[in-house]
């Protein structure tokens, strides 16, 4: 299964979400292709310093991440696209009906993932924890989808 996380600049939330799911997938032998992109990303920009620091505290390294502007190929190749906000979902959904959800919506919750961009390390920690907490539920749903596909 190919999963794409999308945020605005692809330097904070979507790379953190992709890294958290990658860790969960590795820990649980889930066969996933995971990537992230931004709606207004500057290709090649590094993850923000505070995003890197917040993830290191979770024992996840995103220091090699480089931002990527979402492309039509990304949308076509993804089996599931998870956005950080309802606004991002509204932009992408016409291009990929039935496979775009907000991360919270997919996990059975509501609301947007808060944007720590420009904030201090504590704001990034809070967003990283918010992403981790919702990702546990999202990963269970993804595992169920994989099991359904295999049966």
- The pair phi, psi for residue 119, each rounded to 5°, is -85, 180
Residue pair 49/86 in contact (Cβ under 8 Å)? The answer is no
Q: Which of 13, 74, 112, 125 is catalytic?
A: 13
| Residue 144 known to be catalytic | no
Q: Which of 66, 79, 115, 137 is catalytic?
A: 115
Other Cβ atoms less than 10 A from the Cβ of 101: the count is 17
Q: Could you give the CA distance from residue 45 to residue 47 in angstroms, rounded to a whole number?
A: 7
Task: Give the pairing type, strands 2-7 and 80-83.
Answer: parallel
| Residue 13 known to be catalytic | yes
| Residue 12 known to be catalytic | no
Q: Which of 7, 74, 112, 125 is catalytic?
A: 7
Identify the H or E element spanning 110: none
Q: Could you give the CA distance from residue 49 to residue 34 in angstroms, rounded to a whole number?
A: 22
Task: Give the pairing type, strands 33-38 and 100-102.
Answer: unpaired
Catalytic machinery residues: 7, 13, 115
């Amino acid at each position: 299964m190919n999963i794409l996380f999308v945020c605005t600049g692809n330097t904070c939330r979507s790379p953190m979400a992709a890294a958290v799911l990658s860790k969960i997938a590795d820990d649980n032998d889930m066969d996933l292709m995971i990537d992230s992109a931004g709606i207004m990303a500057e290709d090649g920009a590094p993850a923000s310093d505070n995003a890197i620091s917040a993830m290191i505290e979770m024992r996840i390294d995103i220091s090699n991440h480089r931002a990527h502007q979402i492309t039509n190929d990304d949308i076509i190749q993804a089996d599931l696209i998870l956005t950080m906000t309802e606004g991002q979902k509204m932009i992408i959904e016409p291009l990929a009906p039935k496979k775009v959800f907000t991360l919270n919506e997919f996990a059975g919750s509501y609301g947007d993932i808060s944007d720590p961009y420009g904030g201090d390390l504590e704001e990034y920690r809070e967003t990283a924890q918010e992403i981790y907490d919702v990702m546990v539920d999202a990963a269970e749903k993804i595992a169920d989808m994989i099991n359904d596909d295999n049966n």
